[in-house]
Structure 1
Amino acid sequence: MDLQHKLFQSGTSSQHRNNMLQSHRIVVERQWQETIDPQKLVLGKVLGRGSFGVVHRGTYEGQTVAVKVLDFGDSKITEATMAFLKEDFIKEVNVWQKLNHPNVTKMIGATMSMTKSCRQKIKKTKTESNFCIVCEHIKGGSLRSYILKNRHKKMPFKTFIRMALDIAKGLSYIHSQKVIHRDVKPENMLVDKQHSTIKLIDFGESIFEPSELFFTTGERGTRGYMAPEVVSRKPYGRKCDVYSFGICLWEIYCCDIAYTYNLDNLTPDIYQEMRPSIPINCPRSLAHLMERCWHIDPMKRPEMKEVVVALEEIEMLEECEDLPAVRGCFPLFGLERYKSRRNVDRCTVRNQ
């Protein structure tokens, strides 16, 4: 269990708590090792900006890479805040560097001591730091961008299933490594056009899963994808990622955004009842899987390895001659909608 969560649950005095946190940070920093040579890193143009970082295209030892440079915002941050940011950075690196899977973006290394030579192609901004993570460069952009670009087109059903399986396999793998992502959303998934795969990225909110459920001191992740138990600050574990996956599954199938309005001011009791409306043309087996993934009770959600099996079974339905080969990004209408539901149900019964 994370030390800060332990202290939050206990009645530890403020002074003792601060002392323990300081000791914990010292231990974390002693575990830090530079895993790249900053002299060999060169930053190029900005590819994107997030809440806590700026992503550049760069080169490292002749290889094109993506470089996430932490953005600390105010350059006048306090020493205490810097200590927290440094600890969070080390935690992200410690989690990410242990992961190795085709559906997880590969981390190459990290440094907390970028040099002037790193920035010979750009000017350092006031908000960027010397903390950076270097990972493989994926040319296809985010899954969110892909969805928005293709929302007026038809997506082959096999493309949808391939994407869903890639994400499910990536999450199943990180869960097998006792890691909880805690910010599963299309923005944190990259489309690798070269290998036709989806890869998870951004482990800034990720933690190693404790042996027991734990309380969090605040919300983690992004509302709309965040599990109700996280919003309510109740005990949670890896099933929070399963909930997030369920929302992503809906968005990929519908080529749309589940919630287009601000959810920040919703109370936990209202938030926990919210779910996207599943299109009537959605295959029954797929609709059932979405509903299981975003069930309000985490114990009733499937494990990600079970989701992989369920998606593979749904993929087999494509071989049924009555199942439409192409699924549109928008709901079908009239008789076509009725035929779609009827054909899927016939296929389901045939395979039971």
Structure 2
Amino acid sequence: MATKKRLELKLPISIPLRHHILMPMPLPLPPQENLKNSIKGLCDLEKVGVLGHGSQGSVYKVLHRRSSSYFALKVVRLDCDPSSTRQIMREVEIAKKINSPSIVKCEGVFEQGGNINFVLEYMDGGSLANLLKHKRRMTESCIAKIARQVLEGLKYLHSERIVHRDIKPSNLLIDRSSGVVKIADFGVSGIVSQSMDVSCNSYVGTCAYMSPERFDPDTYRGSCNGYEGDLWSLGLAMLECYLGHFPFLPPAQEPDWVTLMCAICFGDPPLVPPTASKEFQSFIKCCLQKNPRSRWTASELLHHPFLNPVLV
């Protein structure tokens, strides 16, 4: 009798879903603590105070209900002026781009009711300008700590081709508990493009801290790239910390545009008093060179002896 051929029947093997699914799988949820602290929208926030007002909007202290954490809410009004709208959109672009411990962190950007709302890291120590109003003058060691932190932020920004263009004491914010200083407010900042449209030929920012090439771009055309102006502003701010008043003017004198323009463009850079150390005098001189090509970069200034004292 002929034997029947045994059929070799194989059941289909169960294949895990991830091996044959064609669409990408969703990313895993973040850890619970991040999920708790994440800001989904403005409805998560409660206004608890006013931190300041400006020409284009206001800044509020807000409470994130789910995490009980405080943030700063910067509300900027959108208007019909194309240049103002471009400026705000540029700030949004930069806020999403930057990520540095030396710069105030942006936690989210939301549009509502014709306003752009920036949810920012809250710095409870206020600004360097407020500190100067109460303390008046600072020691060199304190100034060195501040300068190093700001330079770390500028080094990062410049490596990302971003020019701040408004470095001044009121835009340097302090954390009270740690003493950390961070750069804030990118409302007039710019990203350097191949056309260099945000270099010298950009009359924006606070004129008191503007560099000579920002006041008079025609004279310095072709000799600057925009980054140097941030270092001039830093030098003025640090000298102000030492003097207790704005360096180009006597104490208590209010600046006006003509006086500032003449002093910055046609006068000599302000001098550091002889009571200061040689290292601090040299540091300020490296920042306040009228020729932008002679100014030290942020990376170079981070290696200056004033910030790196030799221990004997």
Matched, 1:248 2:237: yes
Taking the TM superposition and a 5 Å limit, the aligned residue runs for 1:187-266 are: 187-211=170-194, 213-214=196-197, 219-234=203-218, 235=221, 236=224, 237-258=226-247, 259=249, 260-266=253-259
CA distance, structure 2, for counterparts of residue 132 and residue 148 of structure 1 = 29
Map 1:120-139; keep pairs closer than 5 Å: 130-139=115-124
Distance, in Å, in 2 between the alignment partners of 1:302 and 1:36 is: 43
Residue in 2 that maps onto 1:146: 131
User: How far apart, in 1, do the equivalents of 2:243 and 2:132 lie?
Assistant: 9
RMSD: 2.4
| Contact 1:58 1:67 (C-alpha < 8 Å) held by counterparts | yes
Shift of 1:229: 0.8
Q: 1:191 to 1:113 in 2, by over 3 A?
A: same
Matches within 5 A, 1:27-176: 36-60=40-64, 61-62=66-67, 63-71=69-77, 79=80, 81=81, 83-113=82-112, 130-151=115-136, 155-176=138-159
Residues 213/291 of structure 1: CA separation in 2 closer, same or farther (3 Å cut): farther
Cα distance in 1 for partners of 2:206, 2:260 equals 15
Contact 1:223/1:263 (CA < 8 Å) preserved in 2? no
Give the distance between the partners of 1:274 and 1:42, measured in 2 at CA.
49
Task: Label 1:135 to 1:309 Cα distance change in 2 as closer, same or farther (>3 A).
Answer: same
1:334 matched residue in structure 2: none
TM-score, length basis structure 1: 0.68
For structure 2, list consecutive stretches of 5 or more residues without a partner in the other structure: 1-38
Q: Where does residue 184 of structure 1 map in the other structure?
A: 167
Change (3 A) 1:43 1:298: same
Work out whether residues 223 and 264 of structure 1, in 8 Å CA contact, stay in contact via their aligned partners in 2. yes
Change (3 A) 1:263 1:40: same
| SS of match in other structure, 1:314 | coil
CA offset digits 1:140-172 (Å, max 9, x no partner): 0000111121126xx454322111111111111
Gaps of 5+ in 1: 1-34, 115-128, 321-352
Per the normalisation by structure 2, the TM-score is 0.76
Letter in 2 for 1:220: V
Larger fraction in helix: 1
How far the C-alpha of 1:37 sits from its partner, in A, is 1.9
In the alignment, what sits opposite 1:23?
none
How far 1:274 sits from its partner (Å)? 4.6
Structure 1 residues 211, 288: closer, same or farther in 2, change over 3 A?
farther
In 2, Cα distance between equivalents of 1:303 and 1:316: 16
| SS of residue paired to 2:207 | coil
How big is the shift at 1:289? 1.9
Letter aligned with residue 319 of structure 1: L
Q: What is the CA–CA distance in structure 2 between the aligned matches of 1:301 and 1:267, rounded to whole Å?
A: 20
Q: Give the Cα separation in 1 of the matches to 2:96 and 2:118.
A: 10
**Distance (Å, rounded) in 1 between the aligned partners of 2:50 and 2:192:** 33
Give SS of 1:277's match.
coil
Separation in structure 2 between the aligned mates of residue 254 and residue 318 of structure 1, nearest angstrom: 25
- How many residue pairs were aligned? 261
Q: Shift of residue 110 of structure 1?
A: 0.9
Deviations 1:238-272 (A, max 9, x none): 11111111101201222332234323124856531
Worse-matched range after superposition: 172-181 or 62-71: 62-71
CA contact (8 A) 1:219 1:233 kept: no
8 Å contact 2:165–2:230 — kept in the other structure? yes
CA distance 1:40–1:220, change in 2 (3 Å): same
**CA 1:305 to 1:151, structure 2 compared with 1: closer, same or farther past 3 Å?**
same
For 1:218 and 1:101, the matched residues in 2 are separated by 25
User: 1:240-319 residue pairs with structure 2 within 5 A?
Assistant: 240-258=229-247, 259=249, 260-266=253-259, 268=261, 270-272=263-265, 273-310=267-304, 313-317=305-309, 319=311
Contact 1:48 1:56 in 2 (8 A): yes
User: Retained in 1: the 8 A contact 2:72–2:120?
Assistant: yes
| Distance 1:276-1:36 versus aligned 2 partners, 3 A rule | farther
